[in-house]
Structures are given as structure tokens and as C-alpha cells.
Homo-oligomer: A and B are copies of this chain.
């Protein structure tokens, strides 16, 4: 029977540790999990489900004998080592933005476009966290009614910026509660010049600023949506905002559908039977998704679905999912499961 050796690159990070958890609980037949990170982390021990794993330094040779390599250690590490892993026969599933817009690389949300996996050349890209959950929520609506427009405003959790950012948020919270001085050294973006506190605050910047006054995070949502949905005509605009939440991205999503016969009840029906979605939508019992209730869960939660007041084919909704799980680690492992199911992993 086929059994896979899976490497996790960036195994000590917020996403990497979740990846190991998700591999452990997946349906994939596993021979071995190799946990790779920087030289600095080499020798560290990680315990997953009682299994103790020792972190190794990532080198080209680390990928000898590896079947599937999950990368989540930053774009430059992916660019350095993903081709080395492919050269050694591994399939790379990359959770950085390095290869997402490469036209030769499939960008995949398994519930939406698994067929894109067929054309892969060794590297599969995992979309941005905020894009994935929006795609899961919108695909059943697109299938049923068509989709012409998306306007999204996000409420993104701090764990998306890594473990150190979460620690800094909690430190700031404690210092603010004590009326003490506080420091900001990470957010909005580790790579940017200025840093602002996130605790008891809101920052309308995620990643660096890019063209037309949009941030890279906003461009990711725009461009990745068009690629995943194979629709260059769909109108997409995004405002990406960081909020003081540990895990769980929330999104206020406005859509316009093509089919004028659409309705709130029709949208709810489509979502109810769709994979990966849990509908939480009942104002009469105050049922709607929140990040605290979504944390640690695999589903994408959708609620507050309502028709626009003025535009017949316009709808608003509220979409929440754990950014470390479906937004990153789980989606990567589901891509591996899909590749396995479709017989696309060479052995």
C-alpha cells in the first residue's frame, strides 16, 4: 500500500504547527512526517498527538525521499527550496504568495477548483487565508446563480501575522489594562517602516502598500479570486483590515449575482448542502458566526445573509473561518488529499 513521506517547512510557525495537526488527522496514508525549519530552530522538539518530532534544518537534501512538501516559511524560503523539492520528486504545496499568480501553478481551494490540480508541474499554491474562506462561501452561490461582483471588507485576526504578533498583542493588552507604556514592533507589517499597536485598535493595513493605493493583501484577494474562479470578468474589490482577535478572520461580503431569480432562501439552500460550510444564520436566536466560536474549527461559517435594500440582485453576508485552519493548514492538507484521491502523486 502507498504511504507518503510528508515534509512540513516552517514547522515551528503558527501555520506549520497546525499543518502537522491537520496531517495527523487527515485521511492520507502517512509513512513519516519530516519537520523542517530554519537552522535556528533545528533540534527543537515538537509533540503532535503524543508523537515527538525533532526539527531539522531545511536543506536541498532534506527533500530526498519526500513525496509531499508543505511550505509555510515565507516566500523567499519557498523560492529557494520548492524547486529543490520538486527536483527530488516531491509535490510542493506552497502556502506563501511566491507562486500563486504564476500561470503554470494551480491555485486551489479543493471545494472550488480541484480540476486545476490536473495540470500541475510539481508546485501547487495555497491561496491567501482571507481569499480561501470567501471562495468556499461564494462558490455554491456562483454555481447556482452566477456572480458578477464582490466587495469585501475584512476583519482579520492577528495570528495571520504569526505567533510573535499574537504575543505582542497580548502584551499590549496587558500593558493597556495596567495603564502602562506599550510597544509596537510588528504590525501592520513586519517588513514596513512604521508599527502601530493592534490591541484595542484597528489597522486598515495588511501587508505593504502596492499599486493604486491598495495593499498587497487586497490585491491578493482581487487577483486570486479571479484565478480560482477562472473568471477575469468578475468585479472584485477589497479593503483588508486587522482587528485584535487571536484567530478567525471575519468578512463583510457584498455580492451581485447574475440570475435575477436568486433569493435569500435560495442562497441559504445552496450553502446548506455545500461542502466545508456551516450556515449560522438565524436572527431570531441571534445566530451568526463570530471568530471566538469559529476558532479551532474546520468549517467556513456563513450568516447574516440578506438582500441589498436597493439592488435586486445584491446580497450581503458575514463569513468567518479560522485563518490558521481552513485559511492555511487545512486547505494545504486537503489539496494533498485531493491530489492523492485523483492519483496525481507520483510514487
Give residues in A with beta carbon < 8 Å to B.
Answer: 149, 151, 153, 155, 170, 173-174, 177, 188, 192-194, 196-197, 200-205, 209, 212-214, 222, 235-237, 239, 241, 243-246, 248, 250, 252, 254, 264, 283-286, 288-292, 303-311, 314, 316, 318
Smallest Cβ-Cβ distance to A233: which chain B residue: B310
With known contacts A213-B304, A290-B196, A250–B309 Cβ distance under 8 A: no
Nearest-Cβ distance from residue A183 to partner chain B, whole angstroms = 14
Complex alpha-carbon distance, A243 and B214, angstroms = 23
With known contacts A155-B241, A212-B306, A306-B214, A318–B204 Cβ distance under 8 A: yes
Complex alpha-carbon distance, A309 and B192, angstroms = 24
Specify which chain B residues have a CB less than 8 angstroms from the CB of A245 in the assembled complex: 200-202, 244
Contact A290 B202 (CB under 8 A): yes
- This protein's copies in its complex: 2
Provide 15 A-B residue pairs closer than 8 Å at the C-beta atoms, listed in order of the A residue: A149-B310, A194-B285, A200-B246, A200-B292, A201-B290, A202-B250, A205-B288, A213-B305, A222-B309, A237-B254, A237-B308, A237-B310, A239-B304, A239-B316, A243-B243
Nearest-Cβ distance from residue A68 to partner chain B, whole angstroms = 34
Contact A193 B286 (CB under 8 A): yes
Nearest-Cβ distance from residue A100 to partner chain B, whole angstroms = 18
Nearest-Cβ distance from residue A101 to partner chain B, whole angstroms = 15
Smallest Cβ-Cβ distance to A194: which chain B residue: B286
Smallest Cβ-Cβ distance to A286: which chain B residue: B194
Contact B286 A151 (CB under 8 A): no
Contact B286 A192 (CB under 8 A): yes
Contact A250 B204 (CB under 8 A): yes
Smallest Cβ-Cβ distance to A171: which chain B residue: B177
Smallest Cβ-Cβ distance to A189: which chain B residue: B286
For the complex with contacts A193-B285, A202-B248, A212-B307, 9 further pairs of A-B residues with Cβ separation under 8 Å are: A173-B177, A201-B290, A201-B291, A202-B243, A202-B290, A214-B306, A214-B309, A235-B310, A241-B252
Specify which chain B residues have a CB less than 8 angstroms from the CB of A203 in the assembled complex: 290
Contact B318 A239 (CB under 8 A): yes
Contact B239 A252 (CB under 8 A): yes
Nearest-Cβ distance from residue A315 to partner chain B, whole angstroms = 10
Nearest-Cβ distance from residue A177 to partner chain B, whole angstroms = 6
Specify which chain B residues have a CB less than 8 angstroms from the CB of A318 in the assembled complex: 204, 239
Complex alpha-carbon distance, A155 and B204, angstroms = 11
